[in-house]
Amino acid sequence: MTTQLETITTDKAPAAIGTYSQAVRFGNQLFVSGQIPLDPTTGELQMNSIEDQIHQVFKNLQAIAQAANTHLGNTIKLGVFLTDLSHFATLNTIMAEYFTQPYPARAAVEVKGLPKGVTVEMDAIIGID
Percentage of residues in the chain with pLDDT exceeding 90?
A: 91
Q: pLDDT of 53-87, one tens digit each?
A: 999 999 999 999 999 999 999 999 999 999 999 99
pTM value surpassing 0.85: yes
Round to whole Å and give the CA distance between 70 and 53.
23
Does the domain made of 5-127 have the CATH classification 3.30.1330.40?
A: yes
- 9-61 pLDDT tens trace: 999 999 988 899 999 999 999 999 999 999 999 999 988 899 999 999 999 99
Other C-beta atoms within 10 Å of 65: how many? 25
User: Which residues does 46 contact at the CB level (< 8 Å), separation at least 6?
Assistant: 37, 38, 39, 52, 53, 55, 56
Name the residue ranges covered by the structural domains of the chain: 5-127
**Tens digits of per-residue pLDDT, 86-126?**
999 999 999 999 999 999 999 999 999 999 999 999 999 99
Confidence of residue 127 (pLDDT cuts 50, 70, 90): very high
Cis bond before residue 102 (omega within 30° of 0): yes
User: Rounded to an integer, what distance in angstroms lies between the CA atom of residue 50 and that of residue 90?
Assistant: 8
